[in-house]
Structure 1
Amino acid sequence: MLPKSERKTPLPAEPGRERDPQAVREMFSEIAPRYDLLNRVLSAGVDQSWRRAAVREALAHGPRRVLDLACGTGDLTLLLKQSAPHAEVVGGDFAPPMLERARAKARRAGLEVRFQEADALNLGFPDGHFDAVTIAFGFRNFADYERALAELYRVLRPGGRLCILEFPPPPKSGLGVLYRFYFTRILPFVGGLISGNAAAYRYLPASVERFPDPQTLARMMQQAGFRVRHKLFTGGIAALHVGEK
């Protein structure tokens, strides 16, 4: 393997490659070994409370089938299964190393969850297959938001629920000012130090700054056919959008 500084394939932090599918896949594959540790350290554990809120919304109507898309190492997927043991829970992601770690975590927890490779723009499931779909901190990496929303709408049954947990651009006042400094200056340094991939943690704040604000994302979901509401967490640092088909 080439040293990070000599890689031939540009990482998505470089201009024009923010949502290049192959570059994003390679980046997340490379940081998979330290992904869970970094999530806990860099968020001081607060991301877990946001995930629990997403799970409560996703399971509110007692779904039988749930898809956790862009599942990464399976944090939210396993939380869904623990909270709804009788539901069929599927975790989908496009980075095989993330899925390998998710399967290992499920085995250690004694949970029966199916993990498989999945392309958000071309999901291999029948129409109306799921009662709920969750996406935690992965939607902004999709190459085409409108196509992804159309595909998510397709695989949900009528009355099904889509829950998108994401980092919107930080507010320009209050806590958002401090968080923007942390996100753009401290996170890339610490993340790069722990993971050995500083580019991945430069990509993170860049992708957040380019992501639609909560009102714009709500309108996009409405245009895809969803009835939408959203809530902000921790001074607007995170947002949960809930769409009903």
Structure 2
Amino acid sequence: MTTTAATIDKSSSRVRRMFGEIAPRYDFLNHLLSMNVDRYWRWRTVRKVKPVANGGPILDVCTGTGDLAIAFDKAAHGKLPIVAADFCPEMLELGEVKSRRRGSDHRIDFVEGDTENLPLPDNEFQIVSVAFGLRNVADTDRGLAEMTRCCKPGGKVAVLEFTTPRYQPMKGLYGWYFRNVLPRIGQVLMRNNSAAYEYLPESVGKFLQYEELTERMEAAGLKNVRFYPMTFGIATLYVGEKP
């Protein structure tokens, strides 16, 4: 998936507008286009990064409609407060409805906030997570620094993100699907003028992967950073600890 950096406009206004437009069918398309495997990736994440009882609250940034925040709520058996932050109000509204339907709205606090400048205190959260959203943050280093700032000493920062499989034939099949199939299905179903599902393969192809993102997380002040590829490397979970 080769692109040039100039083809990807990750300005906050453009990304916010784009996700606001696709918000009403965002969950449906994510599950359809991943054949529901995205649910499994979140399931793996909350088991790899287990909440600790009485360990403090959890923060999920770029939360979208709150799927990972809700997964952490389930993993914590509803016993921990969770903050779900995003800069797209349309996504947050849908997340609040979803949370209310499952009875977790009194535990999950949906907050409008940009990951580059989170309106949250230092050293507060036992887990700070992001799922499929870090690549949409214009300044990756700033986003990681903010996530680390909000994490408690001894806590964990978890990044779940799409990656390009490293080995054939999956690498070739994945690239073909992302370039040719996903954008067309997405645009037919969404009729989205912002071309969100053309942006997706571009943003994945150009984003930091594997050792590169590990190094950025270490530069943000995290230690013992490890990554765990899932489903042949289509998605990867990165986990680091705050000293």
TM-score (norm 1): 0.91
- Kindly provide the CA deviation profile for residues 85-139 of structure 1, in whole angstroms up to 9, marking residues without a partner as x: 1111111001000000000001111112110101111111111011111100000
Q: 2 CA distance for matches of 1:154 and 1:33? A: 32
Equivalent in 84, 87, 96 of residue 94 of structure 1 = 87
Q: 2 CA distance for matches of 1:92 and 1:39? A: 19
Instruction: Give the SS at the match of 1:132.
Output: strand
- Kindly provide the CA deviation profile for residues 151-198 of structure 1, in whole angstroms up to 9, marking residues without a partner as x: 111111100101100012343622121011011100000011111116
Q: How does 1:143-182 map to 2 (within 5 A)?
A: 143-171=138-166, 173-182=168-177
Residue identity opposite 1:231 in structure 2: Y
Instruction: Give the SS at the match of 1:242.
Output: strand
Structure 1 residue 16 displacement after superposition: 4.7
Q: 2 CA distance for matches of 1:152 and 1:25? A: 19
* 8 Å CA contact retained: 1:17, 1:23: no
Q: Find the counterpart in structure 2 of residue 82 from structure 1.
A: 74
Q: Find the counterpart in structure 1 of residue 240 from structure 2.
A: 243
| CA 1:219–1:233: 2 relative to 1, 3 Å | same
Q: Which moved more, 1:179-188 or 1:14-23?
A: 14-23
Q: 2 CA distance for matches of 1:17 and 1:44? A: 26
Residue identity opposite 1:48 in structure 2: R
Q: Does 1:220 align with 2:216?
A: yes
TM-score (norm 2): 0.92
Q: Does 1:131 align with 2:126?
A: yes
Instruction: Give the SS at the match of 1:241.
Output: strand
* 8 Å CA contact retained: 2:56, 2:124: no
Instruction: Give the SS at the match of 1:207.
Output: helix
Sequence identity percentage: 43
Q: 1 CA distance for matches of 2:123 and 2:186? A: 39
Q: Which moved more, 1:55-64 or 1:146-155?
A: 55-64
Q: How does 1:183-202 map to 2 (within 5 A)?
A: 183-197=178-192, 199-202=195-198
Equivalent in 68, 71, 80 of residue 60 of structure 2 = 68
Equivalent in 20, 36, 40 of residue 27 of structure 2 = 36
5+ residue gaps, structure 1: 1-12
